[in-house]
Structure 1
Amino acid sequence: METGVSPLPLSDTPSLSFMASNRPDAQDACKRLQDRYGNVPVGDADIVVALGGDGMMLEALHAVMDTGIPVYGINYGSVGFLMNNPAESDLIDHLRRAEKTSIHPLRATGTDIRGNRFSALAINEVSLLRETRQTAKIQISVDGRIRLAELAADGVMVATPAGSTAYNASAHGPILPLGSRTLALTPISAFRPRRWRGALLSHDSKVRFDVLSPEERPVSAVADNQEFRDIASVDIEEAADVSLHMLFDEGRALGERILIEQFQA
């Protein structure tokens, strides 16, 4: 993770690509901004501007996954943890003074019970979730060594620092500072071991989940908004070869927001 003042060499008329959620206020703002600043395809943009909530930011980041184009989010959602406050008349000034945060997503590769392979990138977390009333039973290995022979739970996840305030925090996982170079391994409603609360792992750890009795106790894997059903195993590691860039208004960088979140009642 890197953070600092954005070194964007913006011209007086930078090429912007606007993306908006389906919320009416986001759609209306998107039209106004396009009329004022123009709009180009994502691949031709200097910056992508995402209007909506955190889900829209994740969608925009996935859209620029292989381009290196930074994303500036404007909050027209409910939580908006990854977003900035609305700015229309002075948007270019905000972009010039924005602070950039660069992160690496997680890469999940796995196999389902029929032998089909799957692969996906996740910005927030990769989670395993039971599909039926049956508790999931999952074996957990870290760096090739079995660390937990059997976790009986609703599921388990690996979360990045950027995603640690989302689903991970709701499952009582730790909030991770952006510069901590760690990952959170967090159970979801653990039944056995009852007192296991998860683990903090180095950012370069390689985590493997093996589903025990996957036909009897089916489990799905979810990487952000991509779901894979009836999995047998999944390997998760940081995608160090992929960098994503988010822009935040001065004094409201993601690292500061995560720090503030740790002091919320």
Structure 2
Amino acid sequence: MKLAFTASERPDAISACERLKARYGQSETPDVVIALGGDGWLLETVHNYFRQGVPIFGMNRGSVGFLLNEFSEDGLIERIENAERTRINPLRMRAVTTSGDVHEGLAFNEVSLLRQTHQSSKLRIIIDDKVRLEELICDGILLATPAGSTAYNLSAHGPIVPLTARALALTPISAFRPRRWRGAILPHTAKVRFEVREATLRPVSASADSFEVRHICEVEIEEAPDVHATLLFDAGHGYDERVMAEQFAS
């Protein structure tokens, strides 16, 4: 099995990467990529390799590591051979700016809209061509994949979504009006459109993972069924098991 190792900028990740390269080798055409760092580094590694169809096995050398396996230098080949495979589809974002420019990006975690100034954003929410919320006054909003539901979405008090649910989490960020609206669970086939009201007075940015577009007036989002990445988890510690454990954590 040919392996390639990538590491975040954390010293622990870099030193572990060098030891693993010396022990297992470093291939230019790997069968599996080993990502050493935190969840953010795993996401960056996914963006770098998904077009090559190479699965990613993450090991935690960062801070959170919800999507990562425990770190160990021993028995790596056997762990990978016995690993559970999880396929994830990203969201495809199409953002239109106030000047009419169009930008597209992919998000394996979430697409988020955020106010750019002290002014709250005003958003209209349209789902499958039907207006569901005429005006949401808020700091922002996000649409998260199941894989991303444990990231920014969870911090914004959104729900954790198991992969097998094939659903998306729509979560407001610091909603002011309607104050008690907490978001929605959408089918993974939903086509979501956000329209920015008073876009010049209340500028808003949109981000697909780390790709950001500023001064937007409209954003369209839907799942990209033709694109996927594969994550590998240690046997018995797959993503859905992690989701279940997280929901019962004390």
Shorter-chain TM-score bucket reads over 0.9
Q: 1:1-58: CA deviations, max 9, x gaps?
A: xxxxxxxxxxxxx1111110001110001001111111123xx110010000001110
CA-CA distance at 1:65 after TM superposition: 2.2
1:173 — aligned with what? 158
Q: What do residues 181-237 of structure 1 show as CA deviations (whole Å, max 9, x unaligned)?
A: 111111000000111111111000000011111110000001111111111111000
1:88 deviation in Å?
Answer: 1.1
Asked if 1 retains the 8 angstrom alpha-carbon contact of 2:95 and 2:213, the reply is no
Q: Does 1:27 align with 2:14?
A: yes
Give 5+ residue unaligned stretches, structure 1: 1-13
Letter in 2 for 1:71: I
Kindly indicate whether residue 106 of structure 2 is the aligned counterpart of residue 159 of structure 1. Answer: no
- CA shift for structure 1 position 177: 1.4
Q: RMSD between aligned alpha carbons?
A: 0.8
- Structure 1: how far apart are the matches of 2:2 and 2:104? 32
Aligned to 1:7: none
Letter in 2 for 1:241: D
2:44 matched to 1:56? Answer: no
Secondary structure in 2 matching 1:65: helix
Instruction: Name 1:237's counterpart in structure 2.
Output: 222
Letter in 1 for 2:50: M
Counterparts of residues 120-131 of structure 1 (less than 5 Å): 120-131=105-116
Deviations 1:76-120 (A, max 9, x none): 001100111112121111111111111111110111111111011
The residue type equivalent to 2:128 in the other structure is D
Is 1:36 the equivalent of 2:52? no
Q: What does residue 183 of structure 1 align with?
A: 168
Equivalent residue runs for 1:220-259 within 5 Å: 220-259=205-244
Match of 1:194 among 179, 184, 189: 179
Which residue does 1:71 correspond to in 2?
Answer: 56
Q: Residue type matched to 1:16 in 2?
A: L
- Hey, which bits of structure 1, 4+ residues long, moved more than 3 A? none
Q: Which residue of 2 aligns with 1:82?
A: 67
Q: Give 3-state SS (helix, strand or coil) of 1:242's partner.
A: coil
Q: Secondary structure at the match of 2:164?
A: helix
Residue identity (%): 55
**Mind listing any 5+ residue stretches in structure 2 that lack a counterpart?**
none
